[in-house]
């Protein structure tokens, strides 16, 4: 990871997570939200607790991406040059993201604790749009039925850390943060305990005064999550493969 990110490190977390509160401008946020909203309706997959767009396409059953460029609006002019300057994907096989999930959460919606898994280079870069949201971080063994005895008297459902993602921010999770922890977003209409002790990236926030009351009401929040899929198949090869079976 490039040295330029040192000031953005979330020091309260195990290695490595970085938070940049003003990654994009307000105008860029409006433009990106408008691009998300103008995607054709079939681009959205409606899940029970959020909806999502998958760019350029969903992975195949064996976690392979069919090679296809990302749409221009998701990379240039805003995101790709900034990722490049920060060196975020320097160690990834493609040295750039090749896959983006766009998640939309209405108030009351969220995502169950999960890990992103081995299909990707172990790094996620998340751009947040529209409204703040708390990302809950859980120790993996807490949810792993085979090691329930490790949990002792701890509340099994309590997050170990909470990261506040402001609108226009960038969050990068990699290293042990990617491999050893689960992440999720609570299905709530109000995130509470928003203060120095409850939020691990408090010192890096842009607008602490917005959270003076110690809570905020959820509003529609959109995330762009950039990743590098490890297995990529060229369409030509796939066609040859399919053709060869005839």
Ligand X SMILES: O=C(O)CCC(=O)C(=O)O
* Residue 219 lies near ligand X (rule: CB under 6 A): no
Sole binder of ligand X in the list 111, 123, 164, 172 (CB under 6 A): 111
* Residue 187 lies near Fe ion (rule: CB under 5 A): no
C-alpha to C-alpha distance for 122 and 223, rounded to whole angstroms: 18
* Residue 129 lies near ligand X (rule: CB under 6 A): no
Q: What is the DSSP string of 43-71?
A: GEEE-SS-EEEEES----TTSEEEP-PPP
Sole binder of ligand X in the list 36, 109, 225, 226 (CB under 6 A): 225
Contact criterion met (CB below 8 Å) for 5 and 125: no
Alpha helices in the chain (DSSP H): 26-37, 72-75, 79-86, 140-143, 175-179, 235-244
C-alpha to C-alpha distance for 155 and 151, rounded to whole angstroms: 8
* Residue 126 lies near ligand X (rule: CB under 6 A): yes
* Residue 103 lies near ligand X (rule: CB under 6 A): yes
Sole binder of Fe ion in the list 16, 94, 116, 219 (CB under 5 A): 116
- Number of residues this chain uses to bind ligand X (CB under 6 A): 9
91: tokens are 């160690």
Sole binder of ligand X in the list 16, 28, 94, 116 (CB under 6 A): 116
Task: Of 176, 146, 147, 145, give the one whose Cα is nearest residue 161.
Answer: 176
Question: Could you tell me the smallest distance in angstroms from the CB atom of residue 153 to ligand X?
Answer: 29
Partner touching 223 among Fe ion, ligand X, none, CB below 5 to 8 Å by kind: ligand X
Q: Which is nearer to ligand X, 20 or 135 (CB)?
A: 135
C-alpha to C-alpha distance for 110 and 169, rounded to whole angstroms: 18
Question: Could you tell me the smallest distance in angstroms from the CB atom of residue 7 to ligand X?
Answer: 22
Q: In what order do the strands lie in the sheet with 161-165?
A: 111-114, 181-185, 133-139, 161-165
Site string for ligand X, 183-202 (x = CB under 6 A): x-------------------
Residues that bind Fe ion (CB under 5 A): 116
Residues that bind ligand X (CB under 6 A): 101, 103, 111, 116, 126, 135, 183, 223, 225
């Amino acid at each position: 990871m490039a040295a330029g990110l040192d000031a953005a490190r979330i020091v309260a977390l195990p290695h490595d997570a970085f938070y940049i509160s003003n990654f994009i401008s307000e105008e860029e946020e409006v433009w990106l939200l408008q691009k998300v909203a103008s995607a054709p309706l079939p681009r959205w997959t409606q899940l029970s607790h959020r909806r999502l767009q998958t760019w350029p396409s969903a992975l195949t059953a064996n976690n392979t991406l069919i090679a296809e460029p990302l749409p221009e609006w998701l990379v240039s002019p805003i995101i790709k040059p900034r990722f490049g300057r920060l060196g975020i994907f320097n160690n990834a096989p493609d040295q750039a993201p090749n896959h983006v999930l766009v998640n939309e959460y209405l108030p009351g919606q969220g995502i169950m604790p999960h890990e992103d898994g081995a299909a990707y280079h172990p790094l996620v870069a998340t751009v947040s749009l529209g409204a703040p949201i708390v990302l809950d971080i859980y120790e993996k063994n807490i949810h792993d039925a085979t090691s329930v005895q490790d949990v002792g008297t701890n509340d099994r459902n309590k997050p170990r850390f909470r990261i506040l993602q402001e609108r226009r921010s960038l969050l990068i999770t990699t290293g042990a943060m990617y491999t050893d922890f689960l992440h999720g977003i609570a299905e709530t209409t109000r995130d509470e305990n928003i203060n120095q002790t409850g939020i691990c990236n408090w010192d890096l926030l842009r607008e602490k005064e917005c959270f003076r009351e110690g809570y905020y009401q959820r509003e529609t929040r959109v995330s762009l999550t950039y990743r590098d899929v490890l297995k990529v198949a060229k369409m030509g090869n796939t066609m040859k493969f399919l053709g060869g079976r005839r």
